Chain A
């Protein structure tokens, strides 16, 4: 065990993956000698050489197109997109190519070795283009896996699982927590399962569901609710696609109430998918409407960020409203 922040945990996972498999390759804008603008790939070029850890030209569609080709060839590409806000130039390569490679070829070819790492989320005064949470765009794409860790322990375990998974994975890293989240992380190799949610705190009155950096928001809201005598069951979804319906259904069947919270805008966010599914599966168990506490349906603002975000107070109000319904 060692104390690591989220960036250290990611860097540690990358080093393990590149050591165990000589075909693993890390690349993206500024990831080479400099080690990435957040330093997630720090030291990898020195250790594994310029052929396996390198800077690419500044072209996101090229980074992912290149990664698709490498993966199809049998290498293990771990591509970085500098900010999730800049993944959209590569949207075509991800949605039309990565996601459909195996299906369209009848399994003659695949890019299952591909992992795309990208910092996401707000709370850092990043304005429109350093704050977005684009997971829902990708959740609508069969063939992809979408994973979001909430702390250093998860980041390492889920990233190693993503790299080894035989499907293309987009790994969203909560950049607000890169240095803020510190915890005990095993130095040895381990991995956490994809497609499995985690019941972080058991409870009986209401289920709170989120992922990534939003987890600490709902945990804070749950603490406030606890002083009112409300017992919250807190679940971290961890994998957006394919998501763990069973764990959420079991929880809501027990509590009868659900609040889902996400950073991204409300309309057609992934919370909508969860709400629709749980409404179908748990209709007879629900005691109140499912609440979605999300970002507003606007671009991500700079000066009014505090007002815009789905903070713990908004979640707390939603919990009380649900309980008193």
Chain B
């Protein structure tokens, strides 16, 4: 039994209630909005090659979000979620890791997958749920996954990936791999019971997992001050006995530095780390949401000035690693490529009807095979009602 608390705590004889905000949590900032590094700031490991890769990924993210929201508005796509204003969290996090590290995301971290090299075609095929989608068209748009790139398939239920990440990292530790797991979630998801379960178990069982919270101020319409009354998410890490850091989530260098150091620590000590990245969700929650119902244009404008991509661009320009001509060429090229990819993906066939029953189990049970056969007979009887599959039944 751990009785240290009795030995180590100072003793008082009048009641002394501790204020939840009495622990000060500093916020790591490395890069200023104008592109200058703060005096005395410690830089992450980064060179021109890595910086260029990160910047191009951020640009791709920004343009993909623009184009796909437009596609959804045109009715070409059922649903989309942007990561406008907080792209640095996902891209910088992935850049601070090794390819063998597992990424378990919530849904607003497609930037990490972009950084890992998921192809434009793969993004499109998933969003248009066509037969070339790795997920066989079963999930809503933006629920990406890739075994090859160590990016766990997204699911909609919030925070379920948090204890899973602990278990995944524990398995990596058992095998003695040079690999950690990073687990992304929003500050809203951190209110779920699975957040408590995952962090506590990671600390107790010493799992090399990096918990990366994107605190962007809102969970759909709910502002953070209706989500919790404590000192953000970071203060909870301390309570679980987890090394914790709060960073400026719009500062790509701070994100990269924190993630690189967290990885080194998690692997060396077999212990979890909690990173709380403070940011702002500049876009709507999703294409099904209109933020004008719950927040002001002034507030949004204030945060426009903290754009993480512009901040990195300023730094790249100051380093002479980038110029305006490269900028224009890159963004024009991305817009063209993405538009062209939409046109290809949206006319690819839907998955065959047989894909309805595969992968429920490793092998379809007898009853499920019988249900498929019944369905095929039905479709053949009313082919006009099922235009995507009727002509393709074997």
- Listed in ascending order, the chain A residues whose CB lies under 8 Å from chain B are 23, 25, 51-52, 54, 56-57, 59, 61-62, 64-75, 77, 89, 92-93, 96-97, 100-110, 112, 142-143, 145, 166-167, 195, 242, 245-246
Query: In chain B, what residue has the closest Cβ to A165?
Result: B362
- Chain B residues with CB under 8 Å of A167's CB are 361-362
Contact B204 A57 (CB under 8 A): yes
B249 part of interface (Cβ distance < 8 Å): no
Per-residue interface assignment for chain B, residues 102 to 125, with 1 indicating a CB less than 8 Å from any chain A CB and 0 otherwise: 101000000000000000000000
Rounded to whole Å, the gap between the CB of B364 and the closest CB of chain A is 9
Q: Whole-angstrom distance from the CB of B335 to the nearest CB of chain A? A: 29
B244 within 8 Å of A (CB atoms): no
Any chain A CB within 8 A of the CB of B143? yes
Distance, CA A51 to CA B175, complexed state (A): 11
Q: Is the CB of B174 within 8 A of A62?
A: no
Which residue of the partner chain, among A65, A77, A105, contacts B160 with CB atoms under 8 Å?
A65
| Nearest CB of B to A100, in Å | 7
Give chain A nearest CB distance to B50 CB in angstroms: 28
List residues 146-165 of chain B with CB under 8 A from any CB of chain A: 146-147, 152-153, 155, 157, 160, 162-165
When chains A and B are docked, how far (Å) is the Cα of A40 from the Cα of B152?
33
Within 8 A of A (CB), among B123-171: 133-136, 138-139, 143, 145-147, 152-153, 155, 157, 160, 162-171
* Bound CA–CA A67/B165 (angstroms): 10
Contact indicator B160/A97 (Cβ below 8 Å): yes
Give the residue of B104, B194, B366, B367 whose beta carbon is less than 8 angstroms from that of A62.
B194
Given contacts A51-B174, A104-B139, contact A68 B360 (CB under 8 A): no
Which residue of B146, B167, B365 contacts A242 across the interface (Cβ within 8 Å)?
Answer: B365
Q: Which residue of A lies closest to B183 (CB)?
A: A69
24 contacts between A and B (CB under 8 A): A23-B174, A56-B204, A59-B193, A61-B194, A61-B197, A62-B201, A66-B170, A67-B167, A69-B104, A75-B171, A93-B194, A96-B155, A96-B160, A97-B157, A103-B360, A104-B139, A105-B135, A106-B138, A108-B134, A108-B147, A142-B360, A145-B361, A242-B365, A246-B366
Q: Are B198 and A65 in contact (CB under 8 A)?
A: yes
Q: Is B196 an interface residue when CB atoms closer than 8 A count as contact?
A: yes
A235 to chain B minimum Cβ distance, whole angstroms, is 17
Cβ of B168: which chain A residues have Cβ within 8 Å of it?
69-70, 72-73
Q: How many chain B residues touch A (Cβ–Cβ < 8 Å)?
A: 49
User: Is the pair B153, A109 in contact by a Cβ cutoff of 8 Å?
Assistant: yes
- State whether the Cβ of B57 lies closer than 8 Å to any Cβ in chain A: no
Given contacts A65-B160, A69-B171, A93-B163, contact A102 B194 (CB under 8 A): no
A280 to chain B, nearest CB (A): 12
**CB atoms of B157 and A69 under 8 A apart:** no
A44 to B224 CA separation, bound complex (whole angstroms):
46
Q: Given A96-B155, A106-B133, decide whether A245 and B367 contact each other with a Cβ distance below 8 A.
A: yes
Contact A100 B200 (CB under 8 A): no
Determine the distance from Cα of A311 to Cα of B281 in the docked complex, in whole angstroms: 60
A309 → chain B, closest Cβ, in Å?
Answer: 30
Can you name the residue of chain B whose Cβ is closest to the Cβ of A54?
B205
B298 CB contacts on chain A under 8 angstroms:
none
For A195, the chain B residues whose CB sits under 8 A away are 365
- Known contacts: A56-B201, A103-B360, A108-B153. The answer to whether A69 contacts B167 by CB under 8 A is yes
> With a CB–CB cut-off of 8 A, which chain A residues contact B368?
142, 242
Give a binary string over B85-111; 1 marks a CB under 8 Å from any A CB, 0 the rest: 000000000000000001010000000
Tell me the smallest distance from the CB of B332 to a CB of chain A, in Å.
34
- Enumerate chain B residues within 8 angstroms of A54, measured Cβ to Cβ: 205
Task: Tell which of A23, A73, A143 touches B167, judged by Cβ atoms closer than 8 Å.
Answer: A73
Contacts of A107 in B (CB 8 A): 358-359
Contacts of A25 in B (CB 8 A): 174
> Quick check: is B250 within 8 A (CB to CB) of the other chain?
no
A103 & B138 in contact (Cβ 8 Å cutoff): yes
